[in-house]
Structure 1
Amino acid sequence: MSSGDGARNNPPEASGAAKAGSRKKIRPTYSCLNCHKRKVKCDRVKPCGACCLRGTPSECEYGTSKRDRHYIQQSALIENLLRSCENLKQQLAEARQLANLPAIKDEDGSLPSSQALYSIKESDNSVEDGDDSLDELDLSSKAADNQSLASPNTVALEEQRTRKETNALIEFYVERLVTDFSPPQVSGTIALREARSLRVFSPILCSAFEAASLTFAGRRDGNRSVEVAGHSRYLRVLRSLQHALYDPQQGKSTEVLVVVLLATIIEAFKQTSKDSLLKHQLGGLELLRTRTPYRHRHGIERSLYVDLRMYWVTAALVHRKPTFLAEKDWLTVPWPGDGPAKDILQRLLDVAVHIPGYLAQVDEFSALLKGGNKPPSELVNMQSAIWERATELQGLLQVWKNMYADTYPSGGPWEESPSEADPTDDFPKFRCRNPSTMQVIVGQNIMYPDLLLATSMTFYWALGLIISTTDPGLVSVLGLQERYQYACNICRSMKYYTQNIPGCLISRVMFILRTAFDNFADGMVEKESMAEIFTYIGRKFELPVFSNKCTSSSVKGEGKP
């Protein structure tokens, strides 16, 4: 055999050996264990989309280390982002037009805080943003202390047990959050309870529920580690929310609207900035507008609008701009003929939605009055129009009172008698003046047959105070004595409210209480008493927003009349 023949015969053998070696090569598993076992495509995030669709996000585990998964996930994300970048830029213009979104991101991917839809103050520098576990919780750290002394199998079992305990703890916190903000015994508070079932289909909603429940539990229990864990998740939720709002379809989804609702709950406890709570509320309003009323006729979508309508309306009042909530479709479509009829509070909100447009008229007139550029005749016409509008709105409020409050089936409010008063009650005494003698007295508390009437009447008095401005150059539809009585009535109703309101629904009176507070001048004994009431409510319900006197709910903010 020649050397050439040998050369021709050897390559096939070498090729066969190479193929055999390639078949024996072990490839690392980058997908989660469940997807690898089922042989389905995995997006390699935690929890992955496939596990979420199967309803088992807590069982999504990986065989690779967290560092390796991070690199794998980053490479896949970069590839997908590069492929869809141009398409997203085209969609961005439409998204900004629909929802007043911020300017496009810079090429390096950073988003200036001044352009962000929601801005936050990252006060907890110790929290690492990339960590998606609850390492801050004491429950997880205990297992980590013993890992160096245990065998690999023991460590794996211990980690699995710890994760199960952590997930069970989070579920317990979520249940507490839902129970406090959607009490089952109170009608019209089912939005959050229904939204909880959507978590398995939405990673951002799952993270938002965890962030809100951990923040809530950490504040209530005084557990700093739990609160820090909630803050870490909250930062990631806000970033995910910003990305979701750039998508014109995802930005209109029910899940995103629920995330905004959960963000307002978090801000009621955290108060990351003086206007962060209002920003979330106005963001929710804009999402509602883009969704149209026909998305809110049934199910959870209806609950998100109807059950929370009071919060949406108060946000519009604080914003002092004409609102889409006053349009006919928003006043009728979410109440189909075969659905429940409007109760006494919804009837009052039908009047309240027209007040933001009136406040915009007042602001425009005040600005022109200060500028001095308009002729007197035009200012007189504007003042007359404002007076007519105020009189019309006050008349609508009076019609509501005559038709619904004065004929309430369960009866009307009454003053608490000395025999009804509990001597051990620690609620602050509201000090006011006797209209006849002008001496300081302790006002009698107002009692109600139920919470629905209490909410409706206090909101009615607050709306009367807002309509009846006392600014120079404008005529007030209420006298000073009537305004004083309205504000005092709100304060005298707070003892009943705080003693009977379940969970954290005390947030319903944030706007109401702040409106009464703004009605009293600095130094008045009534305002000092109200400061004590704010402190009491904030301490009892662990809500810093009350301890800060509900500043974000003030209709008379900076630069406002």
Structure 2
Amino acid sequence: MSNLAVEDRPRNDQSNPSAKAGARKKIRPTYSCLNCHKRKVKCDRVKPCGACCLRGTPSECEYGTNKRDRHYIQQSALIENLLRSCESLKQQLAETRQLANLPAIKDEHGPSQSSQSVYSAKESDDPANNNVDEDEDEDEDEDDDDDNNDTVDKSLDDIARTSKTKSLASPSAVVLPNDERRARKQSRGSSPPWAREKVVLADPNLANALIELYVERLVNDFSPQNVSGTIALREARQMRICSPMLNNAFEAASLTIAGRRDGNRAVEVAGHCRYTKVLRLLQEALYDPQKGKSTEVLLVVLLATIIEAFKQTSKDSLLRHQLGGLELLRTRTPYRHRHGVERSLYVDLRMYWVTAALVHRKPTFLADKDWLTVPWPGDAPSKDILQRLLDVAVHIPGYLCEIDEFSALLKADTKSPAELVTMQTNIWERAHELQGQLQMWKAMYADTYPSGGPWEESVHDIDPTDDFPIFRCRNPSTMEVIVARNIFYPDLLLATSLGFYWALSLIISATDTGLVGVLGLQERYQFACNICRSMKYYTHNIPGCLVSRVMFILRTAFDNFADGMVEKDSMGDLFAYIGRKFEFPAFSNKCTSSSIKVEE
């Protein structure tokens, strides 16, 4: 019950001997504006306050009119002015001592604001929070519903306190009508900086709305509309209502990516806090034999993989998450991936699963007959050109494993020369077989593609204002360095399929110097250049973050060129351009996690 209700109570109720003594409420002054006090929400106690501005009713922001309330409001303003003056004096003192090379004075109330980590920011460090909390404590007996304000995540509160120039408290974070924006500016002009930073996220509904905005951006980046073969994140987003772990994973991914792209450290820290919680929940779920095979766990692993593509926690962190997803797929069996979100997690992501197996260089269950047929039941769409190519690619990891075993035996010198020759012959035969399957795929599907084949960019199509980096290579006839002409395609599906075809051919032939008969040196060079020449079309047409499809393809071409070659230097500029254009750190690091090359 509000203070107004108590004051309007008839006087004779207080003297009624039948009334219970414990039912009487102590009359306390109202610190907040009348609307915030009635709604039991936090108020920054300026006029108009931030909460009334957000509700679209700045003209209705009024404070108590009796003498007692005016006294406390004036007292509160005086305290705010004193605190502001105190903070200014502290800052001047710290600057003076720094110029005099004197150690900083230890704050008797705790660590200084400048040295405090955003990971351990406390509510008590914000004077504005203290004032609001004091108001809540005095109304504790009557405002039991104030606990709802605690639903604002601590990390988001940290964002509001620690962000100065790019915080979520910026008015640009929320679109407001013109009159409300003007009222907001007036309120900000009359309140101290540390109070203004708390305004936007003081309302838990607004904090949740901002998170939903980031989640929507994440879904649009990795599951753009009207694009076939994308991750089913839109359907998965609806599942997070019933799964706290999946909900935290969505928020961790969205905040991490938003923090990275916006250069906002505080937002990224909020995502990191959730990511830590997600990894703990994921570990607990994996220990459960039943829950560990659930769809939500596989979705969480997928979102963790997306996070690692931007965080780059370690050199192999992205690959380890991909291999973890592969192991989950194996335990789930192909029969759980025939329909809905489960099918999308396998079919639409199949290229990523296969590239992870290729980088791992071990035989994979993806080559089993059931995994090649079961996820495509009779009522499902037939395999497209890329899926047909992946049917060949799933056999290459086993071939790479044979090469690694042969190399290890050759170094160990534990086999006779005759046995080694037999093993090498089998490897060469396997290479010819796989390359023959790739060439058959190209003749059956790529060369007869319904929309037509690729073509080279003409001189008239070149845009001089385009900042796409120039790829330089050598003329095969004269060995002169020239500017390569870009390759264009009728659609992205053919561009992805042919790029993957060239990369797979390079992998098969570049593993042994004796495999010239499989793919000649000139063809290897041409295939690697074709991949680079296709990137202008790809980067100009791919939506969202689906450019991640070419991480493995680009890295394979990069490894094919020797150090110091002009082609490899040009690819360095290409990696930097893609990383900058799509704000994708994995490309800025030259996609090292997608390298299939064995480190010596």
TM-score bracket for the superposition, by shorter chain length: 0.7 to 0.9
- The whole-number CA distance in structure 2 between the counterparts of 1:310 and 1:146 is 55
Task: Kindly indicate whether the alpha-carbon contact (under 8 Å) linking 2:231 and 2:349 is maintained by their aligned counterparts in 1.
Answer: no
Distance in 2, matches of 1:471 and 1:288, equals 32
Question: Separation in 1 of the partners of 2:427 and 2:268?
Answer: 48
Paired residue for 1:400, among 433, 441, 459? Answer: 441
Question: Corresponding residue for 1:78?
Answer: none
In structure 2, the CA distance between the partners of 1:277 and 1:476, relative to structure 1 (3 Å rule), is farther
Task: Kindly indicate whether residue 327 of structure 2 is the aligned counterpart of residue 286 of structure 1.
Answer: yes
Q: Are positions 1:338 and 2:379 aligned together?
A: yes
Instruction: Tell me what 2:196 maps to.
Output: none
| One-letter identity of the residue aligned with 1:522 | D
Provide Cα deviations, 1:245-303, integer angstroms capped at 9, x if missing partner. Answer: 11111110000000000001000100000000000000000000000000000111001
Matching residue of 2:129: 144
Candidates 330, 338, 360, aligned match of 1:319 = 360
Give the Å deviation of 1:541: 1.0
Q: Secondary structure at the match of 2:461?
A: coil
Q: Provide runs of 4+ in structure 1 moved above 2 Å.
A: 124-128, 140-146, 148-161, 469-476
Deviations 1:125-148 (A, max 9, x none): 7525xx9xxx89xxx979736525
Q: List aligned pairs for 1:179-218, cutoff 5 A.
A: 179-218=220-259
* Cα offsets for 1:336-363 (capped at 9, x unmatched): 0111000000000000000000000111
> Equivalences for 1:383-422 in 2 at 5 Å?
383-422=424-463
Give SS of 2:375's match: coil
The structure number with the bigger radius of gyration is: 2
Structure with the bigger RCO (C-alpha within 8 Å, sep 6+) is 1
Deviation, 1:421, is 1.3
Residue identity opposite 1:463 in structure 2:
L
What SS does the corresponding residue of 2:227 show, helix, strand or coil? coil
1: CA distance between counterparts of 2:506 and 2:599? 18
Could you tell me which residue of structure 2 aligns to residue 377 of structure 1? 418
Alignment of 1:430 with 2:471, yes or no, is yes
Deviation of 1:158 after TM superposition, in Å, equals 6.7
State whether residues 205 and 255 of structure 1, in contact with CA within 8 Å, keep that contact through their aligned partners in structure 2: yes
Partner of 2:119: 127
Q: 1:166 to 1:357 in 2, by over 3 A?
A: same
Structure 2 partner of 1:178: 219
**Which amino acid in the other structure matches residue 147 of structure 1?**
V
Q: Secondary structure at the match of 2:460?
A: coil
Identify if the C-alpha distance between structure 1 residues 316 and 297 changes in structure 2 by more than 3 Å, giving closer, same or farther: same
Looking at structure 2, the residues matched to 174 and 208 of structure 1 have their Cα atoms a distance apart, in angstroms, of: 10
Q: Please name the residue that 1:113 is paired with.
A: none
Alignment of 1:40-189 (within 5 A): 126-127=118-119, 144=129, 146-148=131-133, 150-152=135-137, 162-189=203-230
Report the CA distance between 1:169 and its aligned residue.
Answer: 0.5
> 1:102 matched to which residue of 2?
none
TM-score, normalised relative to structure 1 = 0.74
Say which SS state the counterpart of residue 127 (structure 1) adopts. helix
Contact 1:383 / 1:474 at 8 angstroms: preserved in 2? Answer: no
Return 5+ residue gaps in structure 1 as ranges: 1-23, 25-123
Alignment root-mean-square deviation, CA: 2.2
Secondary structure class of the residue paired with 1:441? strand
Q: Deviations over 1:531-554 (max 9, x none)?
A: 110111111111111111100100
Q: Does the aligned pair in 2 maintain the 1:469–1:476 contact within 8 Å?
A: no
- Contact 2:509–2:515 (Cα < 8 Å) also in 1: no
SS at match of 1:335: coil
Q: How does 1:471-550 map to 2 (within 5 A)?
A: 471-472=512-513, 477-550=518-591
Alignment: residue pair count: 429
Q: Are 1:170 and 1:214, in contact at CA under 8 Å, matched by a contact in 2?
A: yes
SS at match of 2:432: helix
How far does residue 469 in structure 1 lie from its aligned partner after superposition? Answer: 2.3
Shift of 1:557: 3.8
Unpaired runs of 5+ in structure 2? 1-21, 23-115, 152-201
Q: Normalization by structure 2: what TM-score?
A: 0.69
Aligned residue type for 1:354: H
CA distance in 1, matches of 2:532, 2:130: 53
Separation of aligned partners in 2, 1:396 and 1:194: 36
